[in-house]
Amino acid sequence: MEKNRHTFCYVRLLTILTLLSGGYISYAQTDPIFTQYSTSVQSINPAYCGMWDKGSVQMLLKRYYVGVTDAPLNQSVSFYSPIKNENNGVGLNVINDLYGFARRLSLTGDYSYKVKLSINHFLRLGLKAGVLNFSNALNAYNLDPNNFPDVNFQEDVDIKYMATWGVGAFMYTNNYYISLSIPQIIKNSFAENRSNYSSLAELRYVYLTGGYVFKMPHDIVLKPSILIKAAKGAQLQFDLATNIIFLDKFWIGAMYRTNKTIAFIAQWVIKDQFKLGYAIDYSISGDIKSYQLGTHEIMLSYEFDPYKRTSYYSRQKYF
C-alpha cells in the first residue's frame, strides 16, 4: 500500500512538473486541438467561420488522463455565422484551459471572406484576434521544500490581456477541403515573471489539415482526414483519421496520432439541428498508460438558419 501511495504521488508530481515545463506549457498558449477537430476547425482556423449557410453554436469539454489528479481540462464555446453578404463570416471563441493550478482563458473573434475560384471551388481567408489571460498559483502546489527547493514555485504568475492574432486559409469543394492556419502569430513577452515561463508563447504552431468525402452506396459516406501540427523547436505531429457516416445521422471514426495515441469517435445528428459527439483518446505509450483511464471529450452543437438559404452547403456538412 505504501509503495502504491508513493507511486501515485510520483505520477501526480511528474504530471504537474511536465505541465509547468516547456514540454506541455507551450501547449497552453495554443488553442487546443480537439479530437473531433473535423467539426471544430474554427478553433485553429478563422477562415472556417461562416462557410456554411447555417450558423452554429458549439460546446466542447475535454478531460485529459482520467484518474490522474489535476490533469488538464479544456472547455470551449464557439459561435460562427454567415452574415447578410454571403461572402463574409464572423465567429467568436471562448476557451478555458485548466491544468493543475494553472489557468488560461482566451477570448477571440474571427472574420472570414470567401473568394470564388471556379464554379465549385472556393477559398476563404480568415483573421483571428483577441486577448488571453494566464495565471498559475505556484504556492498552491505544496511541494516539500526539503526535496524540492525550487524558487520558481515561490511566486504566483498572473498575466492579463495578452494579445492574440492569427490567420488562416481554407480551400474547399463539395468533396474535399485543405486548411492552413497559424492561430497565434504574436510573440508575447513574459519578462515580468520567472524566465521559465517565456516558453509559453515561443512555440507558434502551423496547422495543415485536409479531408476527402467519398460517397458510397446505401447512404454511407467515408471521410478520411489528416492533421499536421508543426512548430520550430517542437516535434512534428500527425493525426490520421477516418470517419464513416450513415444516413447523414450517425458518425463513427478512429484516429491515430504519432505521439502514440489512438482515439475513437462517435457523433449523432438529432433533427438536423443538434449534434452530440463523444471521443476517447488512449495513450499506448508505456510510461503513462498504466496510471490513467484515457482522455474523454464531449461535444454538443446547435445549428440555426438566419437567412433561409438553400444551397448545397445548407443540406450537407461533412467538414
The tens digit of pLDDT for each residue in 37-82 reads 877 788 899 999 988 888 899 999 999 888 777 788 999 999 999 9
Q: What's the confidence (pLDDT) of residue 25?
A: 37
Q: What's the confidence (pLDDT) of residue 130?
A: 95
φ and ψ at residue 54, rounded to 5 degrees: -95, 155
Q: State the Cα torsion 136-139-144-148 to the nearest 10°.
A: 60
Q: How far is CA 229 from CA 208, 209, 233, 288, 319, in A?
A: 7, 9, 12, 22, 18
Lowest mean pLDDT among 111-115, 178-182, 198-202: 198-202
Cα–Cα distance for residue pair 318/41, rounded to 1 Å: 12
Nearest alpha carbon to residue 279 among 255, 249, 245? 255
Cα–Cα distance for residue pair 220/92, rounded to 1 Å: 33
User: What is the distance, to the nearest Å, from the Cα of residue 230 to the centroid of all Cα atoms in its chain?
Assistant: 14
pLDDT tens for 206-257 read 999 999 999 999 999 999 999 999 988 788 999 999 999 999 899 999 999 9
Residue 203, pLDDT > 60, answer yes
Q: What's the confidence (pLDDT) of residue 150?
A: 62
Report DSSP state, residue 290: G
Helical spans, DSSP H, in 29-182:
none
Highest mean pLDDT among 54-58, 157-161, 314-318: 54-58
The type of residue at 44 is I
Which one is predicted more confidently, 48 or 32? 48
Q: How far is CA 190 from CA 185, 195, 202, in A?
A: 16, 7, 10
CATH of the domain at 52: 2.40.160.40
Q: What's the confidence (pLDDT) of residue 51?
A: 83
Nearest alpha carbon to residue 157 among 102, 105, 200, 203? 102
The type of residue at 319 is F
List the grid coordinates of 9: 504521488
Q: Could you give the number of structural domains in the chain?
A: 1
Nearest alpha carbon to residue 26 among 229, 195, 234, 165? 234
Domain that holds residue 74: 2-315
Q: What's the confidence (pLDDT) of residue 184?
A: 87
Q: What's the confidence (pLDDT) of residue 294?
A: 85
Handedness of CA 30, 238, 220, 174 (dihedral sign): positive
Report DSSP state, residue 152: G
Can you tell me the mean pLDDT for 15-41?
A: 55
- Report the number of secondary-structure helices (H) and strands (E) in the chain: 3, 15
Helical spans, DSSP H, in the chain:
2-20, 22-28, 312-315
Q: What's the confidence (pLDDT) of residue 26?
A: 36
